[in-house]
Chain A
Amino acid sequence: MRVSIDAELCQGHGRCFSLAPSIFGFDDLGSGVVRGDGTLSDDDLELARLAQANCPEHAIFIEEES
């Protein structure tokens, strides 16, 4: 499972790195960035989904493989 942020859509609302600081950070402009390569553990998935559900720009994507 991987999470990513579409940098074109992200406008820096900051909801992801506030709700899930273990998964998301921010750059110098305050845009959200994924920490590491975005691989999610099972425990992280719920938190990543919460961030996704709070992103006003719908900029967070989660790939779930079977």
Chain B
Amino acid sequence: MSDKTPVRDFATDWDHTDPRWVNDPYPIWEELRERCPVAHTDRYGGGWFPATHAGVSQVAKDTEHFTSRTVVIGNGRPMEDAPPAPIGVAPPITSDPPFHQIARRLILPAFAPGPVNAMEPAIRALCVKLLDRMAGQEIVNGGSQYAQFIPPAVISRMLGFPDADEDLFREFVHIVLEGIDHPIEQRIEEFAPVDEYFQAQMEDHRLHPRDDLTSYLLNVEVGGQKLAPEHVSGTMVLILVAGIDTTWSAIGASLWHLASHREDLDRLVNEPELMPIAIEEFLRFYAPVTMARLVKEDMEYLGCPMKQDEWILLGFPAANRDPAAFEDADTFIIDRLENRHIAFGLGIHRCAGSNLARLEMRVAIEEFIKRYPRFELADPAEVTWAPGQVRGPRNLPIRILN
């Protein structure tokens, strides 16, 4: 990333990995909304970025003009007949209609409120365990000691991987997430051990079926047929990629906010019933995820001459700060009652794991502030934010106050 030319004008040359965008994208988006609401770049083979709520919404719901064949911006483009798993296909996020609906309906029941809410005691116990491990430290890391541990453990448990593989699984998460924009050949190579592990887990689940998502995916039938093994492993990859740094970013950003806004921390500590509404405002204000689509054919769209296979980056976090859609859009209001945010996207690709993400956020924040009702950033300058399409604090040193 360091060898890239710095961006001079985000309206004509945007780059979501530019340090300015990574560190504080909100002023950039505000300027775009006023000056050039659909920005363009020649980078990555060409791409567009609508900065308004209206523009993002329109594209997110439009599966006729845009394809989800790939949703992560890179320099290459997958072919129409992209190879199946391990990487090419992660259904349903990389699926278009009509297959999309079939693949999505398969996984939705696992992420519906019933099964998700049943996980609350286990998530709470995990958070307590992590907090116990940090006991006695004056400075704790809200990222690398806390937020980063929660989603991998939850996802690993959902998939039914052995607890003993916790460290191995976190290593896989690292491989998958860090290499997300590597060239396809390199990616296949990097991915081999992860795929091998998934294959071994699938085999173990075939021999010893149990009540978890892996067994479910192996046994579920569509039209009297079990899923192809690539479909099963592709969905496992999706759950791993989509369920982990997204949620840890959301937990981390919420802790970052509370560490730097004493009045909001005090309110949450004193009015715990505010939590569900506060969670929605954390999601609106610090929405971690942007997703990409590809333009299907040359066309005039949103007033722009879009070319086939150009990217369009859906800035859900930018839409969430659009004053045309939200009152006082740039103000964090912890008890904001009307909050039609789109942190989880819109339309048929709405984040399938949103109930789980909210639960993890709520429990993680509840337990943290219960243990530590007063804390602050140890050094704001030390906080680093992850670049790319999932943004959240990675290094988050927090000083515990008495």
Contacts and interface: CB of A to CB of B under 8 A. Distances in A.
A4 interface: no
Contacts of B338: 50, 53-54
Contacts of A30: 108-109, 111-113, 355
B378 interface: no
Interface in B25-77: none
A58 B339 CA distance: 12
A56 B113 CA distance: 18
Contacts of A11: 346-348, 350
Contact of B341 (A26, A56, A57): A56
Contacts of B355: 14, 30
Q: Classify the secondary structure of B's interface with A.
A: helix
A28 interface: yes
B301 to A, nearest CB: 21
Interface in B60-118: 105, 108-109, 111-113
Contacts, number: 54
Interface in A1-31: 11-15, 17-19, 26-30
Interface string B104-145: 010011011100000000000000000000000000000000
B137 to A, nearest CB: 35
User: Which among B113, B337, B341 has the highest number of chain A CB atoms within 10 Å?
Assistant: B113
Contacts of B347: 11, 57
B109 A28 contact: yes
User: Which among B339, B340, B347, B355 has the highest number of chain A CB atoms within 10 Å?
Assistant: B340
Contacts of A27: 112
A28 to B, nearest CB: 5
Contacts of A29: 105, 108-109, 112
Contacts of B251: none
A9 to B, nearest CB: 9
Contacts of B354: 12-14
Interface in B331-375: 337-342, 344, 346-348, 350, 354-355, 358
Given A50-B338, A53-B338, A54-B338, A12 B350 contact: yes
Interface of A: 11-15, 17-19, 26-30, 50, 53-57
15 contacts: A11-B346, A12-B108, A12-B350, A13-B350, A14-B113, A17-B113, A28-B109, A29-B109, A29-B112, A30-B113, A50-B338, A53-B337, A53-B338, A57-B347, A57-B350
CB-CB nearest 6 A-B residue pairs: A30-B112, A11-B350, A29-B108, A53-B338, A56-B342, A28-B109
